[in-house]
């Protein structure tokens, strides 16, 4: 997906992926990771998700990465937070307390940037990307995150021929393969979420499964 695609989505406020509440899977499964409060959490492709605030409220330091400056600015404005802004390499870093949002391309992130991250949270990041970029994304996480890092990954799966992404369909097999090298992958929950999901029903989908994984880097 080209950067312009996402910048245009934000400019047009076409952000159907944004949830008006904290993700219930995050609240249900995050405690299982038993992370110390001060742990720093990497949130790739973070948008202006309320999950960022929830993670900070658990005592975590949060490092969100987001391409669209509009999303980053909206996040701090909507949270009523005044952010300090500074440049760091290819990124513009917005910071308020424990919340840091790095505005720039996730693929420009280096190992030194995330050396003290012991956790990862991916909701609608992997599934936002087409296959070739998903491969790069998983390889990038594997390359830059330190051993012992663990987190949650939330995916959607459906018949890709029935709808164009994003969100893209990511099967269980794909997750297992993409993270086979370097990660332990454990499925925590799989739910059929098609019923009542009018947006996807309208597209003619016949199935829609949401899966939550626990990832642990070896």
Ligand X SMILES: C[S@@+](CC[C@H](N)C(=O)[O-])C[C@H]1O[C@@H](n2cnc3c(N)ncnc32)[C@H](O)[C@@H]1O
Among 30, 42, 49, 120, binds ligand X (CB under 6 A): 49
Question: Is residue 151 close enough to count as binding ligand X by CB under 6 A?
Answer: no
Looking at the Cβ atoms of 45 and 62, the one nearer to ligand X is 45
d(CA 205, CA 155): 16
Among 33, 35, 47, 156, binds ligand X (CB under 6 A): 47
Question: Is residue 152 close enough to count as binding ligand X by CB under 6 A?
Answer: no
Q: Convert 158-214 into a string of H (helix), E (strand) and C (coil).
A: CCHHHCCCCCCCCCHHHHHHHCCCCEEEEEEEEEECCCCCHHHHHCCCCCCEEEEEE
Q: Is 83 helix (H, G, I), strand (E, B) or coil?
A: coil
Looking at the Cβ atoms of 67 and 83, the one nearer to ligand X is 67
Among 41, 93, 120, 124, binds ligand X (CB under 6 A): 124
d(CA 32, CA 39): 14
Among 107, 130, 176, 203, binds ligand X (CB under 6 A): 107
Q: Least CB distance from residue 218 to ligand X, whole Å?
A: 25
Question: Is residue 187 close enough to count as binding ligand X by CB under 6 A?
Answer: no
Interaction pattern, residues 14-33, with ligand X; x per rule: CB under 6 A: ---xx---------------
d(CA 90, CA 1): 19
The candidate with the shortest Cα–Cα distance to 62, out of 127, 74, 70, 76, is 76
Question: Is residue 71 close enough to count as binding ligand X by CB under 6 A?
Answer: yes
Cis peptide, bond prior to residue 68, ω within 30 of zero: no
Q: Name every residue whose Cβ is closer than 8 Å to that of residue 112 and which is 6 or more positions away in sequence.
A: none
Question: Is residue 78 close enough to count as binding ligand X by CB under 6 A?
Answer: no
d(CA 210, CA 124): 11
Looking at the Cβ atoms of 18 and 216, the one nearer to ligand X is 18
Please give the residue ranges that form the binding site for ligand X (CB under 6 A): 6, 17-18, 45-47, 49, 65-68, 71, 105-107, 123-125, 128, 166
């Amino acid at each position: 997906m080209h950067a312009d695609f996402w910048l245009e989505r934000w400019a047009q406020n076409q952000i159907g992926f944004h949830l008006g509440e904290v993700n219930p899977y995050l609240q249900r499964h995050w405690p299982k990771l038993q992370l110390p409060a001060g742990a720093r959490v990497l949130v790739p492709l973070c948008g202006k998700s309320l999950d960022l605030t929830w993670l900070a409220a658990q005592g975590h330091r949060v490092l969100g990465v987001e391409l669209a400056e509009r999303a980053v600015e909206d996040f701090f404005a909507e949270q009523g937070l005044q952010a300090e802004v500074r440049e760091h390499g290819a990124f513009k870093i917005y910071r308020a307390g424990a919340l840091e949002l790095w505005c720039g391309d996730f693929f420009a992130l280096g190992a030194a940037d995330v050396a003290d991250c012991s956790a990862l949270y991916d909701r609608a990041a992997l599934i936002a990307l087409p296959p070739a970029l998903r491969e790069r994304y998983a390889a990038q996480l594997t390359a830059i995150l330190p051993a012992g890092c663990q987190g949650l990954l939330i995916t959607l799966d459906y018949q890709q021929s029935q709808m164009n992404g994003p969100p893209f369909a990511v099967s269980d097999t794909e997750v297992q393969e993409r993270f086979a090298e370097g990660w332990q992958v454990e499925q925590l929950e799989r739910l059929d979420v098609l019923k009542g999901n009018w947006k996807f029903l309208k597209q003619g989908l016949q199935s829609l499964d949401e899966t939550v994984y626990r990832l642990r880097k070896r």
